Structures are given as C-alpha cells and as structure tokens.
Structure 1
Amino acid sequence: MNANYRTNWSRGPVLGSTLTLNREHGNYVIAQTAFFIAFIATRFWRISCFIFHRCFSNPASADTMHHQRQIILCNSSSPGSGLVSLSILLCSWRHLGLQRLYGLTLLILFVVLCISGFVVAGSASSRISTDVRNEVLLRTDHCGFVRSPVKAESSLFNSLFSQKISTAINYVEQCYSSSRISAMVECEGFVVPKLPTAITNNTASCPFQSNICRSNGSNVMLDSGYIDSREHLGLNSPNSQRFQQREVLHCAPLRTEGYERNLMSWTFQNKPKMSGTFMPRKELQRTDGDIEIIFSVRQWS
C-alpha cells in the first residue's frame, strides 16, 4: 500500500495528521475502520459488563431481580442484546418502584449512551476522507522555476513558455468569465479562486517621474493587502515558516514621443516572443519594487 504521512498545518499538528492514499486503498481503510469500531464496541461492552458485575456482586443474600441482572451481565454479547434483556427485566419488576429499580435504570441509561456513542462513531468513520473538503496534500521533487535556457535549448523553452501561456489563457476564459459553468470545467486548481484585492484605485498618480507618464492622475493601483502563504497560496508549512506578504500593482501608460527609435528593420511575424532583462531609463528606475514593461510591436509595411 502506497501511503504518504503528512501534516495539514491549517488544522494543527494533531488534527492535521493526514494519511494520503489512492481511491482504492482509501475505500479499504474506510471499510476496515467501520469494522474496527464495531469490534471495539463489542469488546467495550464486555469489559463494562465485567466491571458492573463485580460492582453489583454481594456475598449477602439478594432478591431475584439482582440475580437476573447478574446473569444478563454475564451472558449478553453486545450492547443491543443487553439493552433488550435489561429492558424486559425492568418491565417485569416495575411494580417495585423507582427506588428499588434505581440501579437497573442507571444501567439501562449507560447502555443507551454506549450504543448511541458507537453509532455516531461508526457513521462518522465514512467521513475520514471527506472531513477536509477536497484538500489533498501534495509533494513533488519537480517543483521550481525553469532556468533560462542556453541557445541550443531556446526553441524548446519557447515551446514550453507558449504552452503555459495558452493554458493560462484558457483557464482564465473558462473559470473567470461571467457565463462559465463550474460543473463542466475544473476550476478548483487553487486554494482560493481569486486573490483578494483590498484597494482598487483608478485615479492613482504616476509611479515614475511624472514627465514620462501620459497622465498623472488616471492610473491604476491594485493593493492585495497581506497575502497569507498558507490560506491564499496553499503552502503547507508550520506557523514558524508561515509568512504574509503585501503585493501592490501600479500601472501607468507611458509616453512614447521622444523615447522611441527603430532597432530592427524586419517584422516579428512567425518569430518567437522576445523576453529578457533590461536596464530602465532613469525616469523609470525605482528601488522599492520590480519593473515590467509591456509593449506592442509595430509591424512596418
């Protein structure tokens, strides 16, 4: 049986202890758990009967009801059979009054609580695989970032990069459109469907020197607030390794007049997408964040 023992730190070190199995082995464990609970219920009842029998034993002479109760405690094999026998005994001696039947009544109440507890435990055993919704703890040795390729591998990297972009675009169209049908599309690949946006400002100032922005008062700034590594990103780690980070996206259209020049005389049609690092002009330089420029390529006729 292939099993992975992990801890779901969002539920704590005790309740978060998790055993990850495939579907076939998971069904087998659920069935065995229900059988084990039924077995424990029988053993618990027999031990309880022994304890009650010893407590009720008396070397002095006793009435008939006492001996009948002792016989039931010796011979009942399950809580159900014990409840039936004790109930019949209570009905047969009901004329003795509540004071004489006080011990028998408490014993019947204990049997009822015992049966109820194990019925609840048996019913809850089927939820051991669904109690944490659809969360699954994953671990792989192949997570990480793709390194910048050497020249001989650039075509393979571009193919992988294009595939990832295409997959992301399809996911956005299927899962974030207003007319999507969630039952037909698998849109639960992330811990939360969308990261929160605490502040949306459509009249933000220019994030660079004001002379390079087209406007100094109609730009966009999105503030996510603090993003939690566990609750929002799904990184399963203890509290000592948990972190929160705030992300701010500040966008502004830039002026092109006076900042453009012709670098290439051919078009980019049927050419791989160009990407890389760059050294921004002094008007764009900032030391408190990353800078990304998105531009369109002009096709010369």
Structure 2
Amino acid sequence: MDKLTPSATPPTTAGNANAVTAAAVAVPIKAGIEPTTIAITLAPPQSAGVPMIENPTIWVSVLTFVGVLISIWYAGKRLKKELAHSAAEAQLNRADSRELADAERENARAEAHKDRITSARRTAYTEANDELQKSIGFLSTLQNKTASDSDIGGSLSGFYSATARIELIAEMGTVLLVKELTRKLTVLFMDSAAELVPLYAKKSDLLLAQERYKLIDAQHKELSPIYQAGMMLNPQQQHFRDEKERLENDLQRLRETIESVTAQIEEMKKTYALGLAGKLIGLHDLISTLTIRARQEMGVETDVEQYETAARLSVQESSGALARLVSAVEATKR
C-alpha cells in the first residue's frame, strides 16, 4: 500500500522579503522504496509596501511592448511602401514590355514589308534591264529589216510592261528617271523609224529590180535558142537580133540599177548605225544614274563614285571610237 512520507520544511532566511522560499513536496512511494524529496524554488512574494505603478519591472515590460508595437508598425509601413513601389515598377515593366513587344512586332512587319518590296523591285528592275537590252538590240538590227518585218511598236511592249511595274513599287526619284528613259527611248525608236523610211524604200526598189532582172534573164535564156535558130535560118532577119539586144540591154541596166541601189543601201545602213551609236551614247548617263538608284533600292552595295568614274570613261572611249569610225567612213567616200 502506498503511503506518504513527509519531509522536513527547509528554513527560510529571516528578515528578507525577497528571499527564495523552498518547499518540500511529498512524493508517494511504494513500500520498500526510499522516499524521494523534490525541492521546488518559489518566486519571492510581492512586497506589500511597493505599488504596481512604481514597479520598474512593469515599466520595462510596458516600454518593451510599446517598442515592439512601434517596430511592427514601422516595419509594416515600410513594407507597404516597398510593395507599392514594387507594384508600380512591375506595372511600368509590364507596360514597357507591351510597348517593346508592340515595337518589335511593328519592326518585324516593317522589315517583312521592306523585304517584299525589295524582292519585287529586284524582279522588276532585272526584267526592265533585260527588256531594255532587247530594245537596243532590236534598234541595231532595224537597218537589216524591211518595212514589212520591222515591228517597232511591238518591240517596245515588253519594256513598257516592265517599266509600268517599276512605277508601282519604285521610289519617286527612280520613277521619274524611268519615265524619262521611256520617253527618250520612244523618241529614239520613232526617229529611227523615220530615218529608215528611205532605206526601206530603197530596199523595195532593189527587190523590184532583182525580180525584174530574174524575169528578163529567164526570158532571155528561154528565147535565146529561138533567136539563134531564126538568125541561122534567115541571117537577114533583123527582128531576132534587135530583140536579143533589147533583152541584153535591159539586163545590163538592171544590173547597174541593182549595184547602184545596193551601194546606196549600204551607205544608208552605215549612216543609220553611226547615228544610232551616237544616240545610244547620249542615253548612257541617264542609264548609269538609273542603274545606281536601282542598285541602292535593291540593297546592293555600290561605290557611286567609282561607278560614275567607270561610266564616264566608258562614254569617253565609246565617243572616241565612234568619231574614229565616222572619220574612216568619210575617208572611204573620198
């Protein structure tokens, strides 16, 4: 059976109000086990003569609590300020990001549009240059054609079509240069056609003379045996002899006519070729300026000064060669 074993009460210090009070607590134990004593130290009792408001411990606690409240309030206020600043910065960053994204999209669209325009210009300029070279080549062969096979209007249709596309996509300065080139090339074609009218007339005369010569020559060859037989049968018959001489004289005059007209045609061809060369040299500066602008619009690196220098040298050499050619032609006439 359990029992309680009392322990002795420890002494207290007399006359000391703040002295620590020790108490012994009886611990229940079982039979046969020694009793155990646990010492518990108790807080000193409140002095009866000191009011609570004058207790420094209370004031220290109150001041500490107030300090903690002020620290919490200030920390909260600073945190709110920081959060508001962060929110404003985040909003500005989002706005900047949207503006940046919009600007990037706009730049991407502008670059894509620029690439499409550049590609279209490259195609149009290349086609126009090819058609220009075809037109110039056609002009240089007109003297070898006749009025029936010299389709001057049709030869410019490809160039007109290419320049019409250029006027839709090129810069205004380039458009004005293209219009000037088109106008000058059209005038050149019309002037060339007017200069070739006498040449084509001479070619028609030559064709008629050649056809008449073939006809009379065939008649002469066909009747020659008959004339010879008639003169053999009747040597005194003047008719056969006169007819033969007439045919031979006609053939001789036709040969002379053919030779004269042929010489005139060759002379007119030379004159036309020399005049055309001079007119094309006159177009060289305009074509060079247009070429430089086209290369710049297509984004092709171009040394303008070097290109212009080369173009001037080409014109000077071409003009000198043309002058020497004209002098040589004039010398052959004398």
TM-score band by shorter chain is under 0.3
TM-score (norm 2): 0.25
Structure number with the higher strand fraction is: 1
